[in-house]
């Protein structure tokens, strides 16, 4: 498997899109930090990038990369290599590259301007978010043979997690305002890694106005540290579960 | 070496393989012949574990291949259309394949075809810049690279120039002399006659017959294989 990772990394590191992603992230992080007098304001603006751009690029880049490497994967399947090792090898290669891009483009500037618990929390949730969306991308890639459909599913997932989900939550909460919904809201946030990432950062930043309804409840119900432990655990599940499903599907897939 | 029993595969409603029974031994060249979409490539992909069959079994050297990958160490495969990572240079592709298969041959590689096709001159070219024929040469060279016991070639000479296909045919004969099993699919009967001694005729996912070429010819009294098959199928 380590050999497969090596060849995937060799391939990706010469990819121009990845380089463009690093540059885009760097420009927005340095730009936001330098434009705002207050570092925490810069960080909260950068949070939007973290919650929208990072998931989008992670899921799209991975899906497109997977379908572009289809030949490579086919070639490997005819060799005496386990399918599980092939898929996890490609997964590890893509994850490492996108994670490196994120750490370089956002992690580095954040540490330079805000080397604190908030900054580190920011980086950890971004990293988990990256890995989670790479995982989801693999799932959407293996369930179809068609590149266009695969990218469509990936886009739909991104739309769902960043836009549609919030609307649905609000609708549910609005419809059942008469009932005690605290526990239920916490459960709802666990269904969305983007929501979790937001809560994780904001619990540390202490800007309750930005927390949203679910975050406010989260804060109240758990207190900061327990909330963060719980959300990290659930985010890790968002990484592990989709890729495990992807491996299961890939094992039975006809190439 | 390979026993295929009641092998079945369906894609949705379309039944591609309907209970194929065939067995291949070492030291022979077998041609899989049949009309387009008769299931030849699917059969080969089942042998390689690239397609998972719905029913039946495949045994390789006595062991069921289901859930196993180690048997592939003994197989070299040349796909019908060789598709490779676009940006990879040819030399790098060979290095990568050698690296991934290092344990298969203890570092002993068969580079005869690489030399005969003069691929070394193009090692610096990326795979996307290669013509279809050159890719075929790469696929062929990769199939023989690990000196495997079983060599599976899916329409090997389609797209090759006359000189290259002669080189490949000679390589196939040499492999047979070395006691290997070579499975070839082809639509060119004169070529099949040249290299193979047995024919498995596959129609609509079933092995219609599996006979030696000499047998087919004496049965029909025809001098050419293509005519003999024509008589047999009438």
Do residues B173 and B195 touch, judged by C-beta distance below 8 A? Answer: yes
% of chain B surpassing 70 pLDDT:
100
pLDDT in tens, A205-228: 766 555 566 666 666 665 667 777
Tokens of B80: 């019908």
Considering its fold, how many domains does chain A have in total? 1
Domain boundaries, chain B: 2-233
Q: Say what the pLDDT of residue A129 is.
A: 95
Phi-psi region of B207 (alpha: psi -120 to 50; beta: other; left: phi over 0): beta
Sole residue written with tokens 């390979």: B2
Model pLDDT, residue A158: 95
Hey, what CATH topology would domain B2-233 get? Rossmann fold (3.40.50)
Enumerate residues 6+ apart whose C-beta is below 8 A from A174. none
Residue B180 near residue B151, CB atoms below 8 Å: yes
Q: What is the pLDDT of residue A211?
A: 59
Give the residue, A232 or A208, on which the prediction is more confident. Answer: A232
From chain A, pick out residues whose CB is under 8 angstroms from the CB of B91.
Answer: none
Averaged pLDDT score across all residues of chain B: 90
Chain B residues within 8 A of A4 when measuring between CB atoms: 100
Q: Which of A3, A71, A79 sits opposite B84 (nearest CB)?
A: A71
Q: Give B 54-113 residues with CB within 8 A of chain A.
A: 69-73, 77, 79, 83-88, 96-97, 99-101, 104
**What's the mean pLDDT in A1-28?**
90
The CA radius of gyration of chain B, in Å to the nearest whole number, is 18
Percent of chain A with pLDDT strictly greater than 70? 92
Q: pLDDT tens-digit profile of A40-96?
A: 888 888 998 899 999 999 999 999 999 988 888 988 999 999 999 999 999 999 999
Contacting B residues, span 147-176, partner chain A, CB-CB under 8 Å: none
pTM of the model: 0.89
DSSP string of B82-123? ----TT-BHHHHHHHHHHHTHHHHTT----HHHHHTTGGGGT
- Judged by CB atoms closer than 8 Å, whether chains meet at B84 and A72 is answered as yes
State which residue of chain B sits closest to A85, comparing Cα positions.
Answer: B69
| pLDDT grade for B198, boundaries at 50, 70 and 90 | very high
Of A14, A69, A78, the CB nearest to B77: A78
Does the ipTM surpass 0.90? Answer: no
Residues in A closer than 8 angstroms to B16, CB to CB, are: none
- A254: pLDDT strictly greater than 60: yes
Question: How far, in whole angstroms, is CA B67 from its chain's centroid?
Answer: 22
Q: Which domain holds residue A41?
A: 2-251
């Amino acid at each position: 498997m380590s050999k497969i990772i090596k060849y995937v990394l060799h391939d990706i590191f010469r990819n121009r899109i990845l380089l463009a992603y690093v540059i885009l992230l760097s420009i927005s992080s340095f730009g936001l930090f330098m434009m705002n007098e207050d570092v925490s304001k810069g960080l909260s603006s950068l949070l939007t990038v973290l919650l929208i751009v990072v998931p989008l690029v992670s899921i799209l880049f991975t899906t497109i990369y997977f379908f572009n490497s289809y030949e490579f994967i086919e070639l490997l399947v005819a060799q005496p290599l386990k399918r599980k090792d092939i898929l996890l090898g490609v997964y590890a290669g893509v994850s490492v590259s996108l994670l490196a891009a994120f750490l370089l483009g956002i992690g580095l500037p954040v540490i330079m301007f805000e080397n604190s618990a908030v900054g580190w929390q920011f980086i950890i949730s971004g990293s988990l978010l990256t890995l989670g969306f790479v995982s989801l991308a693999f799932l959407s890639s293996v369930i179809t043979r068609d590149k266009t459909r695969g990218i469509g599913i990936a886009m739909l997932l991104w739309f769902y997690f960043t836009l549609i989900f919030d609307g649905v939550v609000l609708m549910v909460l609005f419809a059942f305002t008469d009932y005690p919904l605290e526990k239920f809201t916490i459960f709802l946030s666990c269904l969305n890694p983007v929501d979790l990432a937001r809560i994780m950062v904001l619990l540390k930043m202490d800007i309750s106005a930005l927390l949203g309804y679910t975050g406010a409840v989260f804060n109240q119900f758990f207190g900061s540290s327990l909330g963060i432990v719980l959300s990290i655990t659930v985010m890790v599940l968002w990484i592990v579960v989709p890729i495990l499903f992807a491996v299961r599907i890939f094992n039975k897939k006809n190439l | 070496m390979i026993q295929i029993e009641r092998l079945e595969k369906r894609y949705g409603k379309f039944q591609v393989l309907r209970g194929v029974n065939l067995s291949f031994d070492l030291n022979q060249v077998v041609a899989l012949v049949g009309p387009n979409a008769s299931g030849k490539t699917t059969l080969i992909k089942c042998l390689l574990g690239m397609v998972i069959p719905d029913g039946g079994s495949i045994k390789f050297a006595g062991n069921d291949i289901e859930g196993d990958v180690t048997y592939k160490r003994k197989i070299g495969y040349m796909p019908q259309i060789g598709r490779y990572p676009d940006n990879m240079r040819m030399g790098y592709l060979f290095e990568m394949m050698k690296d991934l298969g290092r344990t298969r041959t203890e570092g002993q590689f068969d580079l005869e075809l690489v030399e005969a096709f003069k691929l070394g001159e193009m090692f610096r070219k990326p795979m996307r810049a290669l013509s279809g024929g050159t890719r075929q040469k790469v696929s062929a060279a990769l199939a023989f690279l690990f000196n495997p016991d079983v060599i599976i070639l899916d329409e090997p000479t389609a797209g090759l120039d006359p000189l290259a296909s002669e080189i490949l045919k000679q390589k196939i004969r040499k492999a047979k002399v070395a006691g290997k099993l070579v499975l070839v699919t082809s639509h060119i009967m004169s070529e099949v006659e040249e290299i193979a001694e047995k024919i498995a005729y596959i129609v609509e996912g079933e092995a219609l017959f599996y006979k030696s070429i000499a047998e087919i010819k004496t049965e029909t009294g025809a001098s050419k294989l293509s005519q003999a098959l024509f008589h047999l199928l009438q």
